[in-house]
Amino acid sequence: MARTEQVLVLEPQHELKFRGPFTDVVTATLKLTNPTDRNVCFKVKTTAPRRYCVRPNSGIIDAGTSINVSVMLQPFDYDPNEKSKHKFMVQSMLAPYDMTDMEGVWKEAKPEELMDSKLRCTFEMPLENDKTHESESNKIVSSSASSVKTDHSVLPKSASASLDDGEVKKIMEECKRLQMEVQRLREENIQIREDDGLRKRRVAPMSAPHSSSTMVTSTVRDEGLSTRVLALCVLFFVIGVIIGKLAL
C-alpha cells in the first residue's frame, strides 16, 4: 500500500549544505512547517548518527506553525575527493486527537499513516578567494585593534612620566590665575590711558606753570605704565614656561 504524501513543508527540500572549514562544529538549519489544521508528530533520522547532533530530533508541530531544527555536524578531517553519503529522513504522522504518549503513538502507528521526506548532505569548503579575503579582513581588524591599543598605552605613559594629575591640576589653576591677572592689568592700563587723555584735555587751556606739573604727573603715569608692561612680559614668560613643561 502506498505511503501518504508528506504534509510538512521542508526548507530546504532536498539537500542540507554544510560549509567548512570542518575543524569545528558546523550547523545547518532545517525548517519544518505544518500548513494543516491538525497537529503533526515528527522525527528526524540520519544514516550517520555518530556524526551529527540534531536538536530537536522529535516533537509535535502545532497546526499552522513551524519549527527550526538545528543539524550540527561534528568536526572531522575533510577529504575533497570523498563524496558524502550521509542522508537524513524526516518522518511524520498526524497526531491523534486523544494522544497522551508520543512514543506509544509511534510504536502503534500503521505503515500507511507514516509520511517521510529524505534529504542528502553536501560538504562545501570556502573558495581560495574567500579565504584570502577573510584572512586580509582579519589582519586589518587585528592591525587596527593593535594600533588603538598602542595609542592608548603610549598616552598615559608619557603623561605619567612628566607630571602627575595633582601637579597638572595645580599648574592649570595657576595658568588661569595668571590669565585673570593679565586681564586685570590690561583693564587698568586702558583705564590709566583714558584718565591721562582726559587730564591732558583739561590741562591744555591752563597756564604754563600748571603745564610743568602736568608733565611731572604724566611722567609718573608713564613710569607706572612701563612697570605694568614689564610685569605683563614676566607673566607671559612664566605662562610660556608652564606650557612648555606640559608639552613635554
Whether 78 is covered by a domain: the verdict is yes
> pTM of the predicted model, to two decimals?
0.52
Sheet holding 9-11, edge to edge: 9-11, 26-33, 66-73, 52-55
Residue 95 lies in a domain: yes
Domain-embedded: residue 207? no
| Domain, as residue range, for 51 | 9-123
Q: How far are the Cα atoms of 86, 87, 168 from residue 83, in angstroms, in the given order?
A: 9, 12, 70
User: Using an 8 Å Cβ cutoff, are 18 and 28 in contact?
Assistant: yes
Whether 229 is in a domain gets the answer no
pLDDT at 126: 80
Neighbours of 203 (CB within 10 A): 16
Average pLDDT over residues 180-194: 76
Res 181: pLDDT: 75
Beta bridge partners of 41: 60, 93
Contact by Cβ (8 Å): 70, 54 = yes
Tell me what pLDDT residue 195 has: 74
Is 115 within the bounds of a domain?
Answer: yes
Domain count, the chain: 1
User: Distance (Å, rounded) from C-alpha 205 to C-alpha 207?
Assistant: 7
Measured distance CA(13)–CA(158) in Å, rounded: 63
189 part of a folded domain: no
Residue 26: inside a domain = yes
Per the prediction, the chain carries an average pLDDT of 77
CATH of the domain at 62: 2.60.40.10
Over residues 198-220, mean pLDDT: 55
pLDDT at res. 196 = 72
For 146, list phi and psi in degrees, rounded to 5. Answer: -70, -35
The pLDDT value given to residue 155: 43
% of residues, the chain, pLDDT over 70: 66
Note whether residue 215 is domain-resident: no
Beta strands 15-19 and 115-124 are parallel
